[in-house]
Amino acid sequence: MNKSWIIIGSITTTLLLWASAFVGIRAGLEAFSPTHLSLLRYATASIVLIIYALIAKVRLPERKDVLKIMLLGFIGITLYNVALNYGELSVTAGVASFIVNSGPIFTTILASIFLKERISCWGVFAIVISFIGVLIISLDDLRKLQFNEGILLLIVAALTQAIYFVFQKPLLRKYRPLELTTFMILSGTIFMLPFSPGIIEAIALAPIDKTITVLYLGIFPGALAYLTWSVALSKIRASLVSSFLFLIPLLTIGIAWIYLSEIPTLYTWIGGFLILIGVIIMNIVGKK
């Protein structure tokens, strides 16, 4: 198959699956608690990745890296997904996608502190623009200045994702992206095991379509999307691949509009536009 088509197919598949995850979570929360949803989703993803690891003969991590991997799995998988799921209880899929995909801004701030990556004046401007966008989306009613608690949880999710991205960077010098992702998803799933009481009853009581939705979240956005993302990363520059992530919030809004009948408000469009502009500026001219 032509290399260009492999790249286009991998990127398109990843974007659609990750965008659909925000919609799938909203649908899954109609039948499952946020913690049960997290565990069932990533238990499914773990099974898929274990099968892949056995077939591909993925090497085990070095003993000295196990603690780091488990800690990052707890932060980037367990905490991220619990915060995301609780946040989506009161926030639409489209808004959640915009907030969480402001994560590159947090990543840049953390990288400047811990990895000594410099931020230009354009970078500072991008951060300000993005936070204004988050603020606009966060206000349920600008006249009453009511702040949605779900937004705070989504900001926590974006921050944990940024920590996950920044501190896995040294490990990516030793492990392939999919290897590291497999280890961290397995670690994050282990930390979710305390959520298991009552999950069998929850599955039995849930409508079959909601259970299928959660299984979809585990198999496709949770496992397959990481595989197609790794394929894209192996073919072209990481910075170029990452630039396509800006499309996820727009795709999420479209999917949520069709599947959940969630019509975005004017505040969502304005705030989301500012977030996208900020992230684009940050990635194009904001870093030194």
So what's the pLDDT on residue 144? 44
Q: Label residue 81 by pLDDT band (50, 70, 90).
A: very high
Residue 167 confidence (pLDDT): 82
Token pair recorded at residue 19? 């965008």
Q: What is the pLDDT of residues 216-266, one digit of tens each?
A: 999 999 888 877 877 776 676 655 566 677 778 888 888 888 888 888 778
* Residue 20, pLDDT score: 93
Amino acid 94 reads: G
Q: What is the pTM of this model?
A: 0.82
Contact 146, 139 (CB under 8 A): yes
Look at residue 57 in the predicted model and tell me its pLDDT: 84
Strand partners, 119: 287
pLDDT band at 17, cuts 50/70/90? very high
pLDDT of residue 104: 65
- How far, in Å, are 47, 177, 212 from residue 40 at the CA level? 11, 23, 11
How far is residue 162 from each of residues 101, 109, 156, 255, measured CA to CA in Å?
A: 10, 9, 10, 25
Give per-residue pLDDT as tens, 167-215: 887 887 888 878 888 999 999 999 999 999 999 999 999 999 999 999 9
The amino acid at residue 92 is: T
| 158 vs 81, residue with greater confidence | 81
